[in-house]
Amino acid sequence: MKFLSYSLLAFIVLVLLAVGLTTKIPPASIGVKQVQVGPGKGVIEEDFSTGLVLSLPSYHIWHLFPRQTHFLHFTGGARIDDRRISTREIEDWRGPLQLRTSDNNNVELDVSVTYKIIRGSAYRLVQDGLRVDYVDRVRSLVLDVLRTELAKLTSEDLQLTDTRTERAQLTLNVLREKLAQFHVEPEDILIRAVSFQADYEDKLQNKQLLRQQSKLEEALTAQAEEDQKVQTQKRQIGAAVLAKERDWEKKIQEKKSDFEVQIATIDSEAQLYDQKTRAEGISERDILIATGELAIEKSKALRDELRNSALDSAGGRILLALEAVKNLEIPEVILNSDDPSVPMLLDMGRMTRLLVGEATPPPNLKDEQRDAAGQKDD
């Protein structure tokens, strides 16, 4: 039980010591440590980030600076404050910037300048004694540079956004070089509005009106010229399209004529080929027919020649005689059968010999001898 009590007491003591021996650097802040006594007396050359850091009473002093971007406004708005801002404030509101242009016109400008402490250089503000008044020193320098640099513009230049922006960029470069002594760097310069004196404002408005009218007339003239160019281009394009269409129609007609000629040539050649082929076929047919007929005639002639030659022989005469006998028609014949010189009609052999003019065997021979004699003659 006593052990727990001692442990709890020791824990409380440690907590109290931790709280008493540390300090907290808030978010979006930069901490700078300064040693007051001892061998390491002075500003520690280091910027500390957010978190708990060792802080021994009467030995360490911690200085805090804003890490965010600082805003310096010169405006006629409601948030004008002439009070000195603390190191944790990042906005500084002042009256509008008054200056005289290069053409001797008084103007008021609404301008905002943004800047921030250079990274890793916050401890230098403490070393150079600028911990409290660096904001005032920066404001004074910025005001002086703006009045010097922006006064190089004419009244008309201030009305032109591009010209104002270009001059603001040049002024920013000058500020970057001069603000380095205060360990801050500018980020941007914004010219929001320009206000002239009332009499000059009227003149300026009239001048702007004339300028706008002149620009309007120039724009209308340019538009008319462009319209004329467009109409000219339309006519040119139309003429080019028409010429191209005619050219294509001409080419199509030429191709069509060429195709028609080719088709007519092919058709003519086809007809000629057909006629030639038909004529050759007919001619070849006629030749074959004539050749066949000639062969037939020759075969007939040869047949007749062979037949005549055969009929001209003894056998042919016999054949003719036999045919004559066969075709012989005798309605009535009276023969003396007792006369041996009269042949029997039924004896075809004797009739044949009779018809072909051969000698008749003697009547005293027997029939067999006569037949043998007839066969010998054959």
The pair of structure tokens assigned to 42 is 């002075």
Domain closes at, from 158, 180, 196? 196
- Does residue 359 belong to any structural domain of this protein? yes
- Does residue 189 belong to any structural domain of this protein? yes
- Does residue 65 belong to any structural domain of this protein? no
- b/e sequence 71-86, b meaning 16+ C-beta within 10 Å: ebbbbeeeeeeeeeee
What pLDDT does residue 10 have? Answer: 52
- Does residue 142 belong to any structural domain of this protein? yes
Q: pLDDT tens across 58-102, in order? A: 899 999 999 999 999 999 865 554 444 443 479 999 999 999 999
Domain closes at, from 196, 223, 254? 196
3-state class (DSSP) for residue 360? coil
Taking a C-beta distance cutoff of 8 angstroms, is the pair 95, 146 a contact?
no
- Does residue 58 belong to any structural domain of this protein? no
- Does residue 181 belong to any structural domain of this protein? yes
Q: How many domains does the chain have?
A: 2
Q: Phi and psi (nearest 5°) for 65?
A: -130, 145
The pair of structure tokens assigned to 56 is 């021994």
User: Residue 321's domain spans which residues?
Assistant: 317-377
- Does residue 368 belong to any structural domain of this protein? yes
pTM of the model: 0.51
Taking a C-beta distance cutoff of 8 angstroms, is the pair 60, 35 a contact?
yes
Please tell me the distance from the alpha carbon of residue 151 to that of residue 170, in angstroms, as a whole number.
13
Phi-psi region of 29 (alpha: psi -120 to 50; beta: other; left: phi over 0): beta
Q: How far is CA 122 from CA 48, 183, 198, in A?
A: 9, 7, 46
What pLDDT does residue 340 have? Answer: 61
What pLDDT does residue 117 have? Answer: 96
Give the orientation angle of helix 367-377 with respect to helix 348-356, to 10 degrees: 50
What pLDDT does residue 5 have? Answer: 54
Domain closes at, from 180, 196, 212? 196
- Does residue 305 belong to any structural domain of this protein? no
Taking 70 as the pLDDT cut, the residues of the chain under it are 1-20, 77-88, 325-326, 328-378
What pLDDT does residue 339 have? Answer: 60
What pLDDT does residue 222 have? Answer: 93
CATH number at residue 124: 3.30.479.30
